[in-house]
Amino acid sequence: MSTLDKRLGQRFLPYGANYLDWSDMPELREVIEQQVLFRYQTETESMASRLERTVAERLGVGHALAVHNCTEALRLALISTRPAVGDLVHIPAVTFVAVAGAVLSCGLIPVLVDADDSLSMDPTLLPPDAQRVITAHMEGTVAPLPTGVPYLVEDCAQSLGARFPDGRYVGTAGYAGTFSFHHNKVLTSGEGGLVVTGADDAWATMRRYHDHGSARVPGQYPTWNDDAHFGENFVTSEQVAAVQCQQFRHLDELLAGLERMYAIAMAELPGRTDLEVLPRAVGDVKVSLRFRCESKELRNAAVAALTAAGIANWTLGKYLLPEHPVLTGRRSLYRDGFPWNHAPKGLLALSRDGFARTRDLLDRTLCLPLSPELAEKEQALVAKSVRQVLEAL
């Protein structure tokens, strides 16, 4: 642990990971004692089904389906739209490459859409006839949504618990929403994912596809309808669902802790005009403080100073997809270049300036995680330490 970690008596684990505790794992004990780890083995409600019911009730959505990770959730959402090979999917230019990977692995073609000043997809750049759009709520921020898109998929991997101004949870406003339980996310089971939808037909298609095209009845051998299609195995396990159930019990506590530390940190902002804090809206999940530095050089100096002091931080350049080799080189493992061999010729991107402004914004952006599990005094100590380091630059 770093010097700061030792003073605080804690580790800089992201968010939900700090709530994992053997004394607080009744769901995991339950599935171990039952000695059934496959969700469709028992005729009673499985732990995975309990998780899905909890999520659907909490988010106010018709259906939830648990899978191995958020990439699979994105794939299920896309596949359930019954696309044709080579169909276009508009995705954010600023997001993790898994979004592009999910599109390509479905035989579809990603079109990069530039960001606005908040680094969310700029919906004004979308063509009026866009059919499939994935928008990402990055870094806990509630992104603006396009209107009139038949298949709008919300990638909420980094924003579980965020709300739109009208009170709805992110992930529930479009055709489908996807969530991640990766180690660095709001809640965690190491890996894990969820897809939610209010469309009965979409959910039925996703459920079949995620279990080899099966219309499985719990407690029985898989069965297939007369109109069955092929599928894959994305079925989550009972022990992973049990950890996710434990995490969900702490969601309100975690979100409240983030709000509290965000308020403390905002009161301790460094007195510098060359370090602008990017304010967060009421419905955002306050996973981090985000600074916009006057220059890339200042941002890099801040990264070096914070790292030397043992204060966790990160930058966002890794999310700039126009510079990712999979997209710049149209790379594929297939000898015929699938699915790029079905793509239109020319640039598959929508930007007013070739992403120059977005690249500049990313080069000057700095993020510092907040620690919701800390007591208020410890949160204040972290905030003061951050201020001291940044003011000394």
Report pLDDT for 42.
Answer: 87
Q: What pLDDT band is residue 126 in, cutting at 50, 70 and 90?
A: very high
Q: What proportion of the chain, given as a percentage, has pLDDT over 70?
A: 97
Domain ranges in the chain are 19-250+321-350, 251-319+356-391
Q: What pLDDT band is residue 221 in, cutting at 50, 70 and 90?
A: confident
Instruction: Decide: 159 and 140 in contact? Cβ < 8 Å.
Output: yes
Cα Rg of the chain (Å, integer): 22
CA dihedral sign of residues 73, 76, 80, 84: positive
pLDDT above 80: residue 7? no
Q: What are the catalytic residues?
A: 185
The CATH class of the 251-319+356-391 domain is: alpha beta
Strand partners, 65: 195
Residues contacting residue 280 through CB under 8 Å, at least 6 positions apart: 140, 141, 262, 286, 290
Q: What are the pLDDT digits (tens) for 293-327? A: 999 999 999 999 999 999 999 999 999 999 999 99
Q: Architecture of 19-250+321-350 per CATH?
A: 3-Layer(aba) Sandwich (3.40)
Q: What are the pLDDT digits (tens) for 230-282? A: 999 999 999 999 999 999 999 999 999 999 999 999 999 999 999 999 999 99
pLDDT above 80: residue 166? yes
Pick left, alpha or beta for residue 86 (phi over 0 → left; psi -120 to 50 → alpha; otherwise beta).
left
Whole-angstrom distance, CA of residue 138 vs CA of residue 228:
36
What would the two tokens of residue 72 be? Answer: 């699979």
Report pLDDT for 347.
Answer: 85
Q: What are the pLDDT digits (tens) for 48-77? A: 999 999 999 999 999 999 999 999 999 999
Average pLDDT, the chain: 94
pLDDT above 70: residue 209? yes
pLDDT above 70: residue 1? no
Instruction: Decide: 287 and 307 in contact? Cβ < 8 Å.
Output: no
Report pLDDT for 227.
Answer: 81
pLDDT above 80: residue 11? no
Report pLDDT for 215.
Answer: 87
Query: What type of residue is 312?
Result: A
Q: What pLDDT band is residue 182 in, cutting at 50, 70 and 90?
A: very high
pLDDT above 70: residue 18? yes
Report pLDDT for 9.
Answer: 41
Once rounded to an integer, what is the mean pLDDT over residues 367-381? 93
Strand partners, 153: 134, 176
Residues contacting residue 157 through CB under 8 Å, at least 6 positions apart: 70, 96, 136, 178, 179, 180, 182, 185
The pTM score is: 0.95
Report pLDDT for 337.
Answer: 97
pLDDT above 50: residue 3? no
